[in-house]
């Protein structure tokens, strides 16, 4: 650590729903902040609508970069890593303001999610900066004669920054900067003081609050000096400011002994107002409504228990009343956030058994647990699951918090989900949408059409055939049956060259492991040519094209019951393969062996679609995926009688891709997501045993196949019939 780094004041942003502290704790509890490819990552802030999170990452003791990601994306990661598809800045890859290799400290995100403010370290000195994806870095500089500056707060639209900086005499002063300024504005100190520090800036960027030595201050554009917000007898700190800058909230000690402090509210018209306590020696404010007329927090009672409070201004616009929101039958409660209009308060409270529960308060219903609020709206909860509510949306309809398992939850009238479980179901559905068509294509090209050496024709010879593949697939996220069938025509182009064209349909019906099911149906056409290239070597080149429809009924937990959201989308798949067979390369005791090698490439595309039904439907962006698979195998045949031939196959397959494509979209009405793909099994074995027999003037065949997972079904039966003429 560098000794020249100023000590920042821990603060809660004045922008609504910036639930930095609570979500950071959740991220750590969930193991989401930890070692990633870039090293350590940490959540620093959220946009006002929760759609964008600010994540810093480091490979050392300081931060080396930051990224803007969606809330669902970050909270869905196992390691807190940053994904592609969102703005990321790595100081090892981009030019910093002075083209240096810099270290960074804490980051700040504007309420609209477009601007990052922070500080970088060069030669032991900190310098404030502003960054947008469009304009890159803007260095804010230092105060005249000073050597460092440190950003502490940024306005809603990112046009204004406030922070602390060194003066020419080595003191620390609060500063202000707005777009268009060529230098920092020194906000000075309160009269007789030598030190000042910033706590927050108003959403509109016009007002800065903080403290100067032992007194809180407010400064607004156009002011020639700071305004002392007063005191209750001891030190004072201004911590929050309303969006328009008219209301300042903080706390003040009641005397010089620091034995008691009270939450305070300040306005220019009314000065400093003591919000009081419930008979105890302290109270503190955590949040306020958009206009500052409602303030929430907690206060000690005369029995030294903390009770959540809601303070509301009176008709004079200055004084008000602190209301005790009570508990759930226990001793303590804490109010953490309030809706923009002040009508909904959320937090946590204990019951008679001293167990904490998330609560929601309204004037109509009083203080009730989030679990009971959900039950009263028809949500099935066989047991209480919420521990604390840490944030509420501006309209009061959506609550965020964490469960007893320390998983982040989102609750609204329709239900409650935990992001970890919910996003797992979203990821599985998205993966299936692109992976299922790939699996069907591979089964057709190497199942129904997997024995080209059994259908070689001489010049001018023809054949017609039909094949059916039916089986069971137990995949990574689903299990169920599949059925593939086609008819084909083959023609001997010349001695040693055979053309085959197949057309058919596919159907899959599987249950999702996390609840729900999906059905896939489609048609395909697949041509291929086998040609003798030298001796007994045959080269087969084939193609595949398919269109299909996928219906997904996605299941997920809503409370303690399974809810379902249903979507429908179209798929398109195309593929190519090349295969080399060494026909009857060797014979061992009447068994002829044909080794082969094959390489295939399959691409699938899925249209964008939106789910309907259920409490938390999602919309999915269009997606594409591909699979490149190499196969080495050995076919064996042994004539058993004049009309029956035994068949066998052994094969090893390797997929070059390590994971499926990612899944992106939106939890409708809540947040976007951009999730990593799922791991795939890259190496698997496949075996088959069967027979051919002369039937009704043609040749019938049966082969039972099995695999060790991979892209092929677990077990399937290939049956076929052909006739040459």
> What secondary structure does DSSP assign to 617-645, as a single string?
-EEE--EEEEEEEEEEEEEEEEE-SSSEE
Q: Tell me how far apart the alpha carbons of residues 92 and 104 are, in angstroms, rounded to a whole number.
A: 12
Return the structure tokens found at 43. Answer: 């959540």
pLDDT tens column, 688-698 = 999 999 988 89
Enter the pTM of the model.
Answer: 0.76
Give the mean model confidence (pLDDT) for residues 240-260: 93
pLDDT tens column, 144-168 = 999 999 999 999 999 999 999 999 9
For residue 721, pLDDT over 90 is answered with: yes
Q: Which of 31-45, 249-263, 583-597 has the lowest mean pLDDT?
A: 31-45
**Token pair 């390369």 in the structure block, residue:** 585
Q: Which of 291-300, 510-519, 573-582 has the lowest mean pLDDT?
A: 510-519
pLDDT band, very low/low/confident/very high, at 525 (cuts 50, 70, 90): very high
Contact 494, 528 (CB under 8 A): no
Q: Tell me how far apart the alpha carbons of residues 169 and 192 are, in angstroms, rounded to a whole number.
A: 16
Q: Which of 249-258, 362-371, 403-412 has the lowest mean pLDDT?
A: 403-412
For residue 526, pLDDT over 80 is answered with: yes
pLDDT at position 132:
84
Q: What are the beta bridge partners of residue 528? A: 500, 542
Which domains are delineated in the chain?
A: 15-26+38-188 (2.130.10.120), 420-724 (2.40.128.130)
Return the structure tokens found at 3. Answer: 């000794």
Q: Which of 112-116, 317-321, 642-646 has the lowest mean pLDDT?
A: 112-116
Contact 254, 272 (CB under 8 A): no
pLDDT at position 120:
81
pLDDT tens column, 311-363 = 999 999 999 999 999 999 999 999 999 998 999 999 999 999 999 999 999 99
Quote the mean pLDDT of the chain. Answer: 86
Using CA atoms, how far residue 309 sits from 332, 346, 368, 587, in Å, is: 11, 11, 14, 88
Strands (E), 221-278: 227-228, 236-241, 248-253, 261-267, 271-274
Contact 19, 337 (CB under 8 A): yes
Return the structure tokens found at 59. Answer: 């490979």
Return the structure tokens found at 316. Answer: 């004079």
For residue 92, pLDDT over 70 is answered with: no
CA 391 to chain centre: 18
What are φ and ψ of residue 28, in 5° steps?
A: -65, -40
Give the mean model confidence (pLDDT) for residues 399-405: 90
Burial 173-198 (b: 16+ CB within 10 A, else e): bbbbbeeeeeebbbbbbbeebebbbb
Highest mean pLDDT out of 9-18, 507-516, 649-658: 649-658
pLDDT at position 95:
34
CA 246 to chain centre: 37
SS3 443: helix
pLDDT tens column, 668-716 = 887 778 788 888 889 999 999 999 999 888 999 999 999 887 656 688 8
How many CB atoms are closer than 10 A to CB 317?
13
Return the structure tokens found at 683. Answer: 């190496």
Give the mean model confidence (pLDDT) for residues 583-612: 96
Q: Which of 622, 604, 506, 609 is nearest to 566 (CA)?
A: 609
pLDDT at position 419:
79
For residue 299, pLDDT over 90 is answered with: yes
Q: Which of 619, 623, 518, 539 is nearest to 573 (CA)?
A: 623
Q: Tell me how far apart the alpha carbons of residues 334 and 239 are, in angstroms, rounded to a whole number.
A: 18
Give 596 or 469, the one with higher predicted confidence: 596
SS3 18: coil
């Amino acid at each position: 650590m560098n000794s020249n780094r100023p000590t920042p004041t821990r603060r809660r942003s004045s922008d609504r729903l910036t639930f930095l502290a609570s979500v950071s704790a959740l991220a750590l509890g969930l193991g989401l902040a930890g070692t990633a490819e870039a090293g350590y990552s940490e959540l620093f802030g959220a946009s006002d609508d929760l759609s964008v999170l600010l994540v810093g990452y480091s490979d050392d003791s300081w931060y080396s970069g930051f990224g803007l990601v969606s809330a669902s994306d970050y909270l869905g990661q196992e390691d807190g890593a940053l994904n592609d598809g969102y703005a990321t800045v790595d100081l090892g890859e981009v030019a910093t303001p002075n083209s240096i290799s810099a270290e960074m400290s804490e980051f700040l995100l504007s309420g609209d999610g477009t601007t990052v403010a922070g500080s970088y370290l060069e030669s032991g000195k900190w310098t404030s900066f502003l960054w947008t994806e469009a304009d890159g870095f803007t260095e804010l500089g230092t105060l005249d004669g000073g050597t460092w500056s440190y950003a502490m707060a940024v306005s809603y639209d990112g046009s204004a920054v406030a922070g602390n900086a060194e003066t020419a005499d080595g003191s620390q002063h609060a500063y202000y900067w707005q777009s268009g300024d060529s230098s920092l504005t020194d906000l000075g100190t309160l009269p007789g003081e030598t030190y000042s520090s910033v706590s927050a800036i108003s959403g509109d960027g016009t007002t800065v609050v903080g403290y100067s030595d032992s007194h809180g201050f407010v400064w607004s554009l156009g002011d020639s000096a700071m305004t002392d917000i007063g005191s209750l007898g001891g030190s004072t700190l201004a911590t929050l400011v309303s969006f328009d800058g008219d209301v300042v909230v903080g706390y003040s000690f009641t005397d010089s002994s620091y034995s008691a402090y009270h939450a305070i509210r300040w306005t220019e018209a009314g000065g400093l107002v003591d919000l009081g306590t419930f008979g105890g020696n302290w109270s503190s404010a955590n949040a306020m409504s958009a206009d500052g007329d409602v303030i929430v927090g907690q206060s000690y009672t005369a029995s030294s228990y903390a009770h959540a409070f809601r303070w509301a201004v009176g008709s004079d616009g200055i004084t008000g009343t602190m209301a005790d929101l009570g508990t759930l039958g226990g001793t303590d409660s804490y109010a953490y956030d309030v809706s923009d209009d002040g009508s909904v308060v959320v937090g946590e409270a204990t019951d008679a058994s001293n167990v904490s529960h998330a609560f929601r308060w309204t004037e109509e219903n009083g203080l009730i647990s989030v679990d009971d609020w959900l039950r009263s709206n028809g949500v099935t909860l066989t047991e209480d699951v919420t521990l604390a509510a840490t944030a509420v949306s501006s309209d009061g309809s959506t609550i965020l918090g964490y469960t007893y398992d320390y998983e982040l939850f989102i609750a609204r009238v329709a239900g409650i989900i935990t992001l970890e479980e919910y996003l797992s179901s979203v990821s599985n559905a998205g993966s299936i949408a692109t992976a299922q068509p790939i699996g069907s294509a591979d089964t057709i090209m190497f199942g129904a059409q997997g024995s080209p050496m059994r259908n070689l024709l001489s010049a001018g010879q023809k054949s017609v055939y039909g094949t059916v593949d039916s089986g069971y697939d137990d995949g990574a996220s689903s299990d169920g049956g599949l059925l593939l069938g086609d008819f084909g025509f083959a023609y001997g182009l010349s001695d040693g060259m055979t053309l085959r064209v197949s057309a058919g349909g596919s159907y899959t019906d599987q249950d999702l492991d996390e609840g729900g099911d999906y059905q896939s149906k489609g048609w395909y056409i697949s041509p291929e040519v086998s040609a003798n290239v030298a001796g007994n070597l045959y080269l087969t080149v084939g193609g595949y094209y398919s269109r299909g429809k996928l219906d997904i009924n996605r299941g997920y937990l809503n409370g303690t019951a399974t809810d379902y959201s249903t979507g429908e989308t179209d798929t398109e798949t195309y593929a190519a393969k090349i295969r080399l067979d060494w026909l009857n390369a060797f014979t061992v005791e009447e068994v002829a062996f044909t080794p082969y090698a094959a390489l295939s490439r399959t691409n699938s595309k899925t249209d964008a679609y939106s789910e309907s039904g259920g409490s938390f439907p999602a919309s999915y962006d269009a997606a594409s995926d591909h699979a490149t698979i190499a196969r080495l195998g050995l076919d064996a045949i042994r004539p058993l009688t004049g009309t029956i031939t035994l068949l066998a196959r052994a094969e090893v397959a390797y997929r070059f891709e390590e994971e499926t494509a990612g899944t992106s979209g939106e939890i409708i009405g809540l947040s976007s997501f951009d999730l990593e793909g799922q791991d795939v099994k890259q190496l698997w074995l496949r075996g088959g045993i069967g027979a051919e027999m002369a039937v009704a003037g043609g040749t019938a065949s049966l082969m039972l196949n099995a695999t060790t997972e991979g892209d092929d079904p677990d077990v399937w039966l290939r049956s076929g019939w052909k006739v040459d003429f």
